[in-house]
Amino acid sequence: MTTIIPRAGMAVLAAALRRCSTTAFLYPRLCTRLYTCLYLRMRSPRKPPAAVHPIGRGALSTCAVIVATVLVGLPLKAAAQANTASSLFERGKQAVYQIRVVDVASGDKYSIGSGFQISEQGYVGTNFHVVSAFVHEPDKYRLEYIRHDGDVNPVTLLLTDVVHDLALLKIDEPADHYLELSSAELGKGDRIYSMGNPHDLGMTIIEGTYNGLVENSRYRKILFSGSLNAGMSGGPALDASGKVMGINVSKGGEQLSFLVPVDHLRALLAEHNAGNVVADHSERIRNALLDDQNAFFQTLLSKPPPTKIMGALSIPDRLAESLRCWGHSVDEEDKDKKYTAAHQHCKAEDNIYVSQALYIGDFQYDFELINTDELNRFQFYTLLEEQFSHPAFTNTGDKDEVGNFTCEDDLVRLSGYTWKVSSCMRAYKKYKGLFDASMTMVSLDFSNRAAVVTVAASGISADNAVATFRYIAETVTWKQ
């Protein structure tokens, strides 16, 4: 037998059902149980109360509780969620500031961002790129912050973390309220709230969704389904309790933004509290960049390279999880070409902002296998000369940042085959020990097939560049 729900309760049940149809995402399990109650009512036989199963009364009581919760609890929770952003803004606005880099000569703002107070002592977190102009040219610029009431005051730079795009500042007249750093773990789909001053239009709050860490990234970044805008960089991203779980950093597209995990800011604050005082920010940046590239390339070089077969060629495959690899091919029918070619490209998707004139962290390698039955030897070698070129570096075009390339060419034997190899490097002027480096190599043994290999890295040490070039070159072998 099945439970009978009296006709008088159907109107109430229908009202609860309508409520679930619009707000089920708030209480998915509760609404599922409500649907079950309705299903049981629809399939119940029309029998007198005496025929009701002994447990029917309990089931009715359970359904009544579900209906009451849906009709009363769901509106309350929906209203609470609607008020979360408003209440967080009111609680947080006193601790969130606009950060300005001001041109000393003109007295006008040069760039703007956001920052937020994280302690009663007046420590403020922001992005490195927000204050980078001052970091690089402290005589040309000065830093200031603007409170929610429009009061303008100077701010002091304490520490930077260029790799994770963070900076720690200090204000002399801290607000009474500050934002706590969260240590709680969020789940995908949790609501989070970003604060900042977009386009110098005033302080705002944006509601969005936490979607975990970006997968296969060299640096830990949080994927935020919300729309950050220029000027919000360095502002806080809050959980529902109002604690900081991340720092606004960049926008990747419509409703696609990125946050720096709060752990990195907590580490920067702990470093300062441990007594670390930095006199030369440029040297700190240099050391951080050297350490970061060394950790990445030494990890890469410490493992045997994974390989794959591309035609008659064995080549390195994806050498690190943070790399993205893809391929394409050229057929003889394409644009009347008299050869075929298969390509594989692998590239890092992450880079580090050092200044407006310099980004580093690029790493890419490409393989091209060319075959022909129509080109004669002279035509084929002419084609290979055209393919034998170094990739262009787009990380900087500023001659104040880098020197000129110096190159070396040679013929080398690898696994019994002859290759023409060219390697080039250019040094960074402000960060001794770092280079942009590239290698290109082409096989010379066959008149109707050849392989072309190119490798490039920015912000790499000379030793790691040479080791990486050798690591890749020695993995490329002809299989037949």
Alpha carbon distance 330, 84 (integer Å): 55
Alpha carbon distance 224, 257 (integer Å): 5
Res 251: pLDDT: 82
| CA-closest candidate to residue 253, choices 220, 234, 227 | 227
Q: Quote the DSSP letter at residue 351.
A: -
* Full set of structural domains in the chain with CATH: 7-83 (no CATH), 94-273 (2.40.10.120), 287-478 (3.40.1000)
Which token pair is 381? 């070698």
Res 51: pLDDT: 36
Res 349: pLDDT: 84
| pTM for this prediction | 0.81
Res 260: pLDDT: 97
| CA-closest candidate to residue 63, choices 86, 83, 35 | 35
Beta-carbon contacts of 215 under 8 Å, excluding residues fewer than 6 positions away, are none
Which residue matches tokens 């991203």?
A: 237
Which token pair is 465? 């560049």
Half-sphere exposure of 83 (CA within 13 A, CB side): 7
| CA 65 to centroid of chain Cα atoms | 45
Residue spans of the chain under pLDDT 50: 1-5, 8, 22-26, 46-60, 79
Question: What is the three-state SS of 128-154?
Answer: HHHHHHHHHCCCCEEEEEECCCCCEEE
Phi, psi of 45 (to 5 degrees): -75, 150
**Degrees, nearest 5: CA angle 113-82-191:** 60
Q: DSSP labels for 35-79?
A: HHHHHHHHH-----GGGS-TTHHHHHHHHHHHHHHHHHHHHHHHH
Q: DSSP labels for 186-253?
A: P-TT-EEEEEE-GGGS--EEEEEEEEEEPTT-SS--EEEES---TT-TT-EEE-TTS-EEEEEEEEEE
Outline where DSSP puts E strands in 268-333: 307-310, 313-316, 323-330
The strand pair at 406-414 and 477-478 is best described as unpaired
Phi, psi of 5 (to 5 degrees): -100, 125
Res 46: pLDDT: 46
pLDDT tens, position by position, 31-66:
666 666 665 655 555 444 433 333 344 444 556 666
